[in-house]
Amino acid sequence: ESITSKGYPEENHHVTTQDGYILTLQRIPHGRNQRSSNAPREVVLLQHGLMGESTNFLDNLANESLAYILADSGADVWLSNSRGNSYSRAHVHLKPSQEIFWDWSFDEMAQYDLPAVVDYILAETGVSQITYIGHSQGTLIGFAGFSRNQTLGSKVKLFVALAPVAKVGHIRNFMRFIAPFAYDIAFLYHLFGRGEIMSNKLDLFLAKDVCENIDILCENVIFLIGGFNPGNLNKTRIPVYVAHNPSGTSVRNLIHYAQGVRTDTFQKFDFRSAEENIRHYGQPTPPVYHPEEMQTPVAIFRGNNDYLADPTDVQWLLPKLQNVVFDKDITEWEHMDFVLGMDAPYQCYDDIKRLIFTNNTIY
C-alpha cells in the first residue's frame, strides 16, 4: 500500500552517507486534505527500529498510523530507511551481494546515516531544527549519535523516544540465545554468514503463502522481537505487517546487540582483538557511549511488557538523561505496540502531537 494510494502526497529522496551508502527517504509534505503551501510546518523525521523500515509508521489505517496523523496535523513528515533494509540497499561502489557491503552495525547508523539524513532534511526544508521520532533502534542511534555529536544534537529541537533502547543487558527476545556466543565472532559468522540476515524475501513468503492461512504463526513472527500483546494487534492487517517486517539487517549488527546483552554495556562494536580495536578506535577496548552527555530534549514513551526495551534497562537509562521533558509508561504495551498498536493514537500519538505542536516553544 503506497502513500499516494491513501490520498497523501509523496516524495522520494536519496541521501548518500559519508561512507557511501545511499539511503531512501519518503516525504509526506502535507496532509491528505491540505493543499501545498509555503506556510511553515513542523518538520518531523521518523526513524524505524531494528530490522524495520519506513512503512512501520504507515502500515495501519490512515487514522491509526503515526506518519499520516502527523501530516494531517500540519507536519512536514520525513521517513528514513537505515542502511541494508529493503529501501536502502545501494552504495556508490558496493553491491549487496558483496560481504563488505554488510560490514557495519548501529555504530555506523549513528555516525553516518543519522547526520546525513538530518542535514539533508535541513537543507531541503530551510529550517534550523527538526523533531526526531525514533522507535527501538531508532532511539538507540539517537542516543548514540546525539551524545557523541553535540552539533548534530543541536539540530534537533525534540527527540521523541518510542521504546527507548541503549543498554540491552536484560533483553528477553531471541538475541539472548545468541549472547553466549557473542565473543566467538568467527563462529557466528560461520553460522550466519557475513552478510544479510532476516531479509524481506522471508516476509514476502510469509505474507503471501503463510499468513492468509495461519494467522497465529505470523503473530508470533511479529512478536518475536518485542513481546506479546495480541489483543492490541489488528489481525486483518497481519499480512501487511509481515510483508514489511523484518526488513533485514547485517549479521554484524545482530552480533553487536548480542555483545551488548553479554556485557550489559552500551558501547561500540567489539572486534575481539586489541589490535583491531586500536585500529578502529585508537584504544584496545571499544569506547562506551555516554547518553548523559546528550543535551537534546527528549520525550520518553515506554512499555512495561517490552522484551527488547526491557524496563530494567530503561530504568538504567532514564536518570542518565539530562533533559527529559516527558515520560510515559504504558503498562501493558510491548515493543511493536508503539507503531502497530490499535490504541496507539490515544495512548501515545495524542501526546506526541501535543509535544510537537502545542509546547514546541519551550524547547
Q: Which of 336, 181, 335, 205 is nearest to 261 (CA)?
A: 181
- Tell me the CA distances in angstroms from 302 to 165, 169, 192, 314, 351, one per residue in order: 10, 17, 32, 8, 13
Catalytic: 136? yes
Catalytic: 5? no
- State the cell numbers at 342: 490499535
Q: Answer whether 254's CB lies under 8 Å from 224's CB.
A: no
Specify the pairing of strand 42-47 against strand 90-91: unpaired
Angle at 155 between CA 33 and CA 152, to 5 degrees: 130
Q: Answer whether 363's CB lies under 8 Å from 158's CB.
A: yes
Which of 136, 147, 199, 247 is catalytic? The answer is 136
Neighbour-count burial for 221-236, b at 16+ CB within 10 Å, e otherwise: bbbbbbbbbeebbeee
Which of 30, 48, 135, 335 is catalytic? The answer is 335
Catalytic: 256? no
Which of 107, 203, 306, 337 is catalytic? The answer is 306
Q: Answer whether 118's CB lies under 8 Å from 156's CB.
A: yes
**Annotated catalytic sites, by residue?**
136, 306, 335
